[in-house]
A and B are shown apart, each in its own frame.
Chain A
Amino acid sequence: GDSVTQMEGPVTLSEEAFLTINCTYTATGYPSLFWYVQYPGEGLQLLLKATKADDKGSNKGFEATYRKETTSFHLEKGSVQVSDSAVYFCALSDRGSTLGRLYFGRGTQLTVWP
């Protein structure tokens, strides 16, 4: 079945450090891939997405490239800020399904220190 595996946290970085959060997936169809972010005290919100192989999603300085050959969608940011402290979730949906259900990873807690 469809599933997502992302690196376990917590991840602790100093401000301006480089961030990578690994995400790999298993899908039987043709998935769309997403990163959602949950800031403290807020609901999950979409950070970026990619709907086909080799697409790059980007937002707020974060990027992730849909790699079909490695079944990966790693999240990167060149210089993190304290305000990026949050929980990050990788997710996929099967475009071949009519249900639109998202499969989420377990989440990675990121803490950025000044």
Chain B
Amino acid sequence: GAGVSQSPSNKVTEKGKDVELRCDPISGHTALYWYRQSLGQGLEFLIYFQGNSAPDKSGLPSDRFSAERTGGSVSTLTIQRTQQEDSAVYLCASSQGPGGHDGELFFGEGSRLTVL
């Protein structure tokens, strides 16, 4: 596609429910990243995919968080048994290769999650 697409753009859920957030990266981009942006906390790294594998999952905050990527394209971030502290904007980014060297990360507009 023309840019990184994320859905839903807004999600309000009740504490304890599961949520899925979707990211559709730019076509041909092999690297995909999930970040979390909380108020006053900046961007927190969650997970990195190269193709379908995730060589770096070190940022996932707990075992309630998981992510997968299929076909080297679309990725889904799943949060189980949501808690109020999970409320944040979840950002997805893609790049042609490992983007943090000389390349550029292209970000989606994010999915704003509110847990009541």
Chain A residues in the interface with B (C-beta under 8 A):
32, 36, 41-46, 49, 51, 89, 93-95, 97-107
Contacts and interface: CB of A to CB of B under 8 A. Distances in A.
Contacts of B35: 104
Contacts of B1: none
Given A89-B43, A106-B41, A106-B42, A99 B108 contact: no
Contacts of A46: 104-105
Nearest to B92: A43
Contacts of B48: 99-101
Interface stretch (B10-18, B60-68, B69-77, B93-101): B93-101
Given A99-B55, A106-B40, A44 B91 contact: yes
B43 A99 contact: no
